[in-house]
Structure 1
Amino acid sequence: MPKLDVNDYQLLEQRRKKGKPLKPKIPKKMNWKYINIFEIDPEEVARQITLSEYKIFNKLEFTEFLNQSWNKEERFPQSPTIRKMIDRFNKFNYWVCTLILQAEKLSQRIKILTYFIQLADHFKNLNNFNYLMATLSSLHSNSILRLKHTFKQITHQNKQKLEEFDQLMSGKGAYKTYRAALKSAFLKGQSCIPFIGIHLTDLTFLDESRSDYDENGEISKSKLETMVTVISNILVFQTRPYSLTDVPRLQEYFTDFPGLNNDQLYELSLQREPRNSNIEDL
């Protein structure tokens, strides 16, 4: 996030608002024994996944970001919450791919792909950048992106949405557009879940490119201050809880995201749309 000045903080205080929790969008005849998320408004699914993830995000400790503990297996116990967020990010990725590819008919896959584009849009509106990126990673995975016939059949509006998401989360300019959106969410006093992956990359780069000590052999204050800034820009959003209503049964459902592995997904993708296939064959 770009460094803030006095005017930025004044703007933040002017725009800070409190709202009443939004009423859940749950079907009246919901089958809680066998939950089918496609029967639920994608906005509500985005809300509940966001609430579930925010509870985890809110447990992050400053010390978890030190010494690249999340990136070294022997140090995983020092970064339990970061590791949990990374694990859920990956599982969500496989879960999305699995749900798309389990649909045998082209028409079904189009509907499910459309659903997840809508879900991504709601993640964006909630400033849940972590799951916006997780959804994009799913749709750009090898097993899904090769479904050319499926992507061709989605509406022009949804194709534009995908382009919009790609631009927002693009790595160009060191994720310049995303960082600007993060700063905007901060200034407006909004709730947010940052895309934690890029900030972990920032810390890794900082740790490996700059010495812990200055030319006088003393601890580098410059490196330490930069590290504190990076971590603080993440944890500041722990003070911004979402004004949403928990749906406990859905919260329980979203504690895990079961899915197939990469090899299984790609094999299933080839079955759904064989190489050099025509749309008439599907």
Structure 2
Amino acid sequence: MESRHNGLLETGIICSLASRSRLRSSPRTSDLVDMVKDLGKRKKLLDFSTASLARELTMQEWEIFKRIAPREFLNQAWQRENKAIIAPNIIRMIGRFNQISYWVATEVLTKQDRKTQVKIIKKFIKTAYICYHLGNFNSMMEILSGLNNISISRLKDTWRQVPEKYKAYFEELEAVMDNQQNFHRYREQLAKREEAREPTLPYFGLFLRYFTYLDDGNPAYGPDKCINIGAMELRLEHVQKVMKYQSIPYNLSRNVHVQNFLNNLHVVEDEDKLYAMSLASQAPSNAHPDQLAPDKVTASAWVELAVVTYAVAYLVLSIVPLVDVTKTRPLPDVAYWLYGLVSPYCLVNVYGMFAGLHDKRWELVVEGSDDGQTDWRRYGFHFKPSRPSHLPLIVTPPTYWPRLDWHLWIIPLSVQKGNPLPPEWYKAFLAGLLKNTPAVLALVQHNPFTDKPPAYIRTRICEYAFAQRGKGRREGDWWVERDLGVYGGELAYDLDNLWTLGIDVTKHLDLPNKDKSGVTSYKVSM
């Protein structure tokens, strides 16, 4: 039934296009004749002009985009089990993005000679550039995503032969979609097209990200099951943006040959298979293992043997510090003796800081309010949990951590160690939140006070632990949160009272005590 429905939609599109083409003969008949001719001759990508490809990509995606209903954005419908029913057009947009991205990679990798690969890459770069000038940022991102696939970007010899002019086009498009400063340049381009009332296909993935952030950071319903008006207004604002783009249609000329070609794409969506094709593409065409010189084979074998020997020795030496960190049963004395022989050379060492991490930790939760009594709303941070539903993020390499989020974790540690007073920089940070200072707001992921700054602000210390599989995870929570108390009191939006944050907070949090087992415990007196 679904395929029949899709077929009716496609037929309706073709008929409406044919009626607009204003040919003197029957448009529908001529289109069918052209399609029959195409059956005997399979056209290739290079047979079409870049302008016709860009126009057809735009029109096909516009047909999907204009059908998206506002209700499809609610409650992340595109991620639910019945997503094909409650968000069919969003699912089509997502599927389309993946299909075109993989198609770009497939087209390049199915061409074995380097000269043709260069032609294909040039074709896609120019097509993306035309999409950009048509305001079709979604198709532009699909092509950029395909060309940035690891299986394509690793083709160094091929990319070296791409003319500098096309590389400049490619870099310009990537600069437009750079996510620095929250896609600043991309937003500028959108604003220009909105002001000129030009048709636009925005990068759809960014809309889905916005709605995900809204659902995670601004729940539609509060703890008392009352509707969160502010959160609903934010959702409405983004839905209206989508509807605004849908209200200005594209009216581009279409090519039935290109349309037929794009409807019958050969796409490889298996990353492993694409990578294998990439390896085969870069291999020398006339090389064979039996033709390698004996001395090179011998040298390669010795190198492999040396690497394997070093890796095994390194693994064995690593067992001693690993056992010490995990506090498992001790190793035989001979293991420690061997480790002692090599330890002066610092070949293997215990990771200096945080060799082991606890399954629970204290976190700061920053909240603002208009009256200081009710409706406390939380600020969200990029790389630290601020609510139970906040997805944990992994930052690599492990030696790197964003400075603000790192220090926001250090503050609770200092409280546990007996230092209850907030540092000076934290007071300045809260003052920036009270004034909605742009430089400070740029450091947070979510600001619940977009219209005006809060009148009051406070910081609570909460214990966070990973949610267990079961009820917590089924309800969408990643963390179990336990409130420990208010840190530093509540701050009114009054610079004269700003430094009252320096009060002793021992009346809110008891400092660490050692129990008989020697384990640090914490008591709360509220």
TM interval, shorter chain, is: 0.7 to 0.9
Deviations 1:20-60 (A, max 9, x none): 99xxxxxxx99633222311111111101111111111111
What residue is the counterpart of 2:274 in the other structure?
A: 265
Q: Is the 8 A contact 1:98 1:259 kept in 2?
A: yes
Deviations 1:113-147 (A, max 9, x none): 11110111011011111110000000111100101
What residue is the counterpart of 1:54 in the other structure?
A: 62
Deviations 1:139-174 (A, max 9, x none): 111100101111111111111111111111111112
Aligned pair 1:218/2:257, yes or no? no
CA shift, 1:214, in A, is 5.3
Q: Is the 8 A contact 1:45 1:119 kept in 2?
A: yes
Aligned pair 1:32/2:47, yes or no? no
If you compute each CA radius of gyration, which structure gives the higher value, 1 or 2? 2
Aligned pair 1:251/2:228, yes or no? no
Residue 110 of structure 2, aligned match among 93, 102, 106: 102
CA shift, 1:219, in A, is 1.1
| Stretch of structure 1 that moved more, 247-256 or 131-140 | 247-256
Question: In structure 2, how many angstroms separate the alpha carbons of the residues matched to 1:250 and 1:154?
Answer: 25
Q: Pick 1 or 2: higher relative contact order, CA cutoff 8 A, min separation 6.
A: 1
Question: In structure 1, how many angstroms separate the alpha carbons of the residues matched to 2:81 and 2:143?
Answer: 26
CA shift, 1:222, in A, is 1.1
CA shift, 1:67, in A, is 0.6
What residue is the counterpart of 1:181 in the other structure?
A: 189
Residue 65 of structure 1, aligned match among 64, 73, 93: 73
| Stretch of structure 1 that moved more, 255-264 or 221-230 | 255-264
What residue is the counterpart of 2:135 in the other structure?
A: 127
Question: In structure 2, how many angstroms separate the alpha carbons of the residues matched to 1:180 and 1:49?
Answer: 23
Q: Is the 8 A contact 1:94 1:258 kept in 2?
A: no
What residue is the counterpart of 1:11 in the other structure?
A: none
Question: In structure 1, how many angstroms separate the alpha carbons of the residues matched to 2:81 and 2:227?
Answer: 27
Task: Label 1:70 to 1:217 Cα distance change in 2 as closer, same or farther (>3 A).
Answer: closer
Q: Is the 8 A contact 1:64 1:82 kept in 2?
A: yes
Q: Is the 8 A contact 1:88 1:256 kept in 2?
A: no
SS at match of 2:183: helix
What residue is the counterpart of 2:156 in the other structure?
A: 148
Q: Is the 8 A contact 1:100 1:109 kept in 2?
A: yes
Question: In structure 2, how many angstroms separate the alpha carbons of the residues matched to 1:95 and 1:160?
Answer: 23
Task: Label 1:172 to 1:55 Cα distance change in 2 as closer, same or farther (>3 A).
Answer: same
| Stretch of structure 1 that moved more, 262-271 or 213-222 | 213-222
Deviation beyond 4 Å, 4+ runs, structure 1:
214-217
Task: Label 1:231 to 1:265 Cα distance change in 2 as closer, same or farther (>3 A).
Answer: same
Deviations 1:231-277 (A, max 9, x none): 21122121212121233343243235331121111100001114xx7
Residue 207 of structure 1, aligned match among 210, 215, 229: 215
SS at match of 1:68: helix
What residue is the counterpart of 2:419 in the other structure?
A: none
Q: Which has the higher strand share?
A: 2
SS at match of 1:172: coil
TM-score (norm 2): 0.46
TM-score (norm 1): 0.83
Question: In structure 1, how many angstroms separate the alpha carbons of the residues matched to 2:215 and 2:264?
Answer: 32
The amino acid of 1:208's aligned partner reads: D
Aligned pair 1:237/2:245, yes or no? yes
Task: List gaps (5 residues or longer) in structure 1.
Answer: 1-19, 22-28
Q: Which has the higher helix share?
A: 1
Q: Is the 8 A contact 1:88 1:257 kept in 2?
A: no
Q: RMSD across aligned C-alpha pairs, in angstroms? A: 2.5
Within a 5 Å distance, the mapping from 1:84-99 to structure 2 comes to: 84-99=92-107
Q: Is the 8 A contact 1:95 1:259 kept in 2?
A: yes
Task: List gaps (5 residues or longer) in structure 2.
Answer: 1-19, 22-33, 288-526
| Stretch of structure 1 that moved more, 161-170 or 67-76 | 67-76
The amino acid of 2:254's aligned partner reads: D
Question: In structure 1, how many angstroms separate the alpha carbons of the residues matched to 2:260 and 2:234?
Answer: 38
SS at match of 1:100: helix
The amino acid of 2:38's aligned partner reads: W
The amino acid of 1:209's aligned partner reads: G
SS at match of 1:174: coil
Question: In structure 2, how many angstroms separate the alpha carbons of the residues matched to 1:224 and 1:257?
Answer: 41
Percent identity at matched positions?
29
CA shift, 1:215, in A, is 8.2
SS at match of 2:75: coil
SS at match of 1:53: helix
SS at match of 1:173: coil
Question: In structure 2, how many angstroms separate the alpha carbons of the residues matched to 1:137 and 1:187?
Answer: 28
